[in-house]
Every structure is written in C-alpha cells, then in structure tokens.
Amino acid sequence: MAIVECVPNFSEGRNLAVINQITQAIENVEGVALLDVDPGAATNRTVVTFVGDPESAVEAAFAAIKTASEVIDMRNHSGAHARMGATDVCPFIPVSGMTMEDCAELARKLGERVAKELGIPIYLYEAAATREERRNLANVRAGEYEGLEQKLKDPEWAPDFGEAKFNPGAGATVIGARKFLIAYNVNLNTRDRKRAHDIALDIREAGRAKRDAQGEIVRHPDGKAIKVPGRLKETKAVGWYIDEYDQAQVSINLVDYEVTAPHQVFDVIEEEAQKRGLRVTGSELVGLIPLNALLMAGRHYLKKQGKSMGIPERMIVETAVQSLGLRDIATFDLDEKIIEYRLNRDNKGLVDLTVTGFANELSTDSPAPGGGSVAALCGSLSASLSSMVGNLTMGRKGQESVWEEMSELGAKAQELKDWYLSAVDRDTAAFNAVMAANRIRAKSDDEKAAKADAVKAANRLATTVPMEVLERTMELIRLAQKMAEFGNPNSLSDAGVAGLTARSCAEGAYYNVLINLGGLDDDAAWGKKQRTKAEANLAKCREKAEALAKFVERKLSS
C-alpha cells in the first residue's frame, strides 16, 4: 500500500474556529486520516498531521491550503514563529510504498495546482527543491511575510510555480518532501536530568564540546566550540526530567530512521546507561511510527534471541514493542500507534472474516468472492504451511546446520502468505469492477465508446490479478520443496500438503485467467499473449508440483 504523510503548518494557533475549518476540509476528503492537530498560541501557528494514499493526500492538502487562504489574513498575523504564508509550509513524507522522489513529485503537482487555481506563489524545498539554495527552508523563508513583497521582485527569488506577484492575504507557501521524523524517548531509572543529558551528548550526531586536559572548551579561531561527534548519525537528543513520570529521559528526534532506527538508539543508550550505573526501564513513542521501523526492531531482537523470522507480522511487531519496553509508562495500541494499522483499522475485507464467515460468504449466490479468491487463499495456506515447517525445524537438535536457512525461508513464506492474502480481496475487487463497468448506461456513441474502454480495462485487471497469482506460485512450490528436503522430518506431510495447495492455487488461477480472457474478444492480441504466458507458467508449476508430490510420497513410504 502506498501511504504518504503530510504535515502542513498554518499561520493560526489561537482561533479554534478557524483551525477547525481547515482541519474539517482535510477530513472531508475520503482516503485520508487526520492524525494530529497541534496549535500554539505563542507561535500563532498550528501543525497538522494527516496520512493517506498519494492522490487523496494531495487533494486534502489542496483543500486545506484553499481554506486557509480564505480564513487567514496574513496582514493581521503575528507570532513567535517564522512564517511567510497562511499555509506556511507543506511537506510530504514517505511512509510506505513511496520513495522520496514520489513525494517530491506530489509536491510539484500540488504546487502547480495551488499557484494556478489560488494565485499563491509557491516555493519548493528539501527533496523537491529546484536548486540547491532552496533546499533549506530557512533560506526560502528568509525575510518572512513582511519581506515577501520585495523578495518577489528579485529574479533570483521568483517562485517555482505562479507569478512573482504579492498575495497580501495568503502570502506564499513552501511545499516539499522530506524524511519521516520519529520522536522517541528512552526512560532511565533516575530523576537526574544531568545524567540523562550526559548520555544524550554522547549519542547525538552533533556530539558535545571538546575539552582540553584542564576541562576547558577547545575553540576554533572564530571562537566557536570544536565538537566531538556522538555515536549515532541523523540523531538529535537532549536529556530532561518529566514530572509526570518522576524520572529522567533521553529525548530523541530520529531524522532518518533508516540510518539510525529506534532499536539502535535503545541499545546504545542501554550501553551508555550501564557505564553510568543506570538502567533503561523502557521507552516512549511520541506520535505515530511507520510499520517498517518496528519490523526492523522486531527482526533485530528475534535474531539476537536466535528465533525464527518466519512468524506473522504482528508477532514481529509485538516482539519490538516488548523489547523496547514501549508499554513502560503508557499503553501502546498497535492499531493506534502504527500508521499503516491505523489507516487500515476500518477497512475490513474478506481476509478479516472468520473461516466460517468466509465459507458462508463464498457459499451464497453472490458471484464474488469466487474461484479466483479461493485460488489465492490456497496460495496463502501453502505459504503458511511452509512457514510452519520452518518454525518446527528451528531449534531442533541435529538440524543446527539449517536453522539460519529455515529462518530466512520462513520469513519469505510469511511475505508470500501476506501477498496471497491481499490477492484474495484484490481478485474480488477486480471482478466487482468488471460488473460495475458492464452496468454503465450508454446511449450516445461517445458514451458507448467510453463504456467499451471501461469494460476492456476492467477485464484486463480481472485477468491480471489471477495471472500474478499464477506467476508467483513457483515460489510457493520451491519453498515447499526446500521444507520437504531439509525441514523437520516429522512435518514432511505438511510440506507435501504445502505443495498440493500450491498446485491448486496455480490450477485455480489459470482457470480464472482463461474465463476473464473470454471478455476480451476485441483485445485479441493482448489476450493471446496472456494465454501463452499462463500456459507456460502452469506447465512449470505442474511439473515441479508433481515432482514434489512423488518425492514426499516416496519418503513417507520408506
């Protein structure tokens, strides 16, 4: 799933009625979830956080910027924070299924539309910047709103989108793309803020001032202190004492969690605390976190424990939560704190039904779910069985030589299990799209042509989903083969059933490719190519699945 976070900052932090109008504009857009609204009276500024799919996020950001331009008048604005517009800054941040360049493209798309439709000058910054000197937000915002009219007259500061024309009510907006920032605190068994800050100085990238043998700060010729870098890159940290918890914390901002992740910070602080006679009691996440950050942590601690990686995603996440002590001082609800889970908590599909519920739904006269979804379900069951055999091999005496491989294969099996489960709902959604396209009313020639295009596109999609299911089935068979050959011999029959369900997956997917190709009579060339590809894939699956079945039967009979 492609998910992007957007964190627009608005130049109003005191008038709740105005703030509510802006946030309501965001919430009115389907496909986004408003996560946080943080107004500040002194700064007269509100930071809003929402997430969603890329298209919806751009739509929500535009709606918010438009509303802000209507309800905020910069001629009457003052506050402690630097600013240049009603919507001052609007960054996009990749969460999952998105690259930084994808987010930069969203920034450009939004910027062009805002400038064109709202007449607001737009500057691009960070990863979306058009030139190096505009990467830094402070450079772009220099002179603030009061200096904007004059700044726009300078050709060097012509906006990236829109005319170099002063908009007195809305000012200008800076739009860009940046990395996800994780706010994370590590708890210590002390009330001593100074000791917590001493740890912070040793771990943060900026480090601490260098001192000579007499303890004096060593300085550059210009008088600035020479710094000794800390242990962790892309990390900002301070130590503080929290009255509410009656304990000190090391408070950290992780600027790039793919460089330094929460679990790495946690482990390093544990080392530094031990040097000082302290203990880490747990940690606290401020705000939300991308799923990948906790998966990284869970896998890290599973590896340290010598445990298999071939377990369900939520179990890996729970390992991270427990290992990091994220419930030490507050509750930690996975569905509330993890961005992807929060977005999906209300989006229930077929795979969220009970086994009985799915079978009951399948047994009705509704044309979907049908054979395509069942074929995908067979694929997920095959992967699950292979994962099970791998887990039953891990830790078994006499098979130490394959433990590491079993863990890796188990992790691959879990990834395939999740992919095939998603295909259960994708197949049904594709079939529903075909029915919806065929129900389109068309009277004029243009309407009939549009309907024909919609039907063709829907039938192609309905063919593509089972084709993808079929194409990945060889991965399932290879996994089952490995488990049969090297897995726990007491689970040989399970590996065999994994091969059989994989074959059922392939055969079922093939049937669904064929029936959907029947709706593409006017797309014969594409259909012929798909049929040839499907036949070749099925032939390979049949050959390998048959060989696996004979191998299992031979070993079971010996």
Angle at 178 (CA atoms; ends 197, 25), nearest 5 degrees: 110
Cα distances (angstroms) measured from residue 533 to each of 464, 470, 512, 519, 547: 11, 10, 14, 18, 22
Say whether 503 sits in a helix, a strand or coil: helix
425 catalytically annotated: no
Helix, strand, coil in percent for the chain, rounding step 5? 55, 15, 30
Cα distances (angstroms) measured from residue 464 to each of 451, 519, 527: 20, 13, 11
Whole-number Å distance between alpha carbons of 13 and 15: 6
* Closest C-alpha to 257, from 289, 211, 221, 288: 289
b/e 5-30 (16+ beta carbons within 10 angstroms → b)? bbbbbbbbbeeeebbebbbebbeebe
Cα distances (angstroms) measured from residue 367 to each of 258, 264, 351, 352, 370: 44, 50, 17, 19, 6
Q: 443 φ, ψ to 5°? A: -115, -50
End-to-end Cα, the chain, rounded Å: 47
Amino acid at residue number 441: R
Whole-number Å distance between alpha carbons of 462 and 455: 10
Question: Given 77, 81, 198, 256, which residue is catalytic?
Answer: 81
CB 367 within 8 A of CB 435: yes
Kind of pairing between the strands at 247-254 and 235-242: antiparallel
243 catalytically annotated: no
Scan for tokens 């704190």, then name that residue: 337
Which structure tokens are listed for 515?
A: 């029936």
Q: 9 φ, ψ to 5°? A: -115, 125
Question: Given 53, 202, 425, 427, which residue is catalytic?
Answer: 427
**Catalytic amino acids?**
81, 427
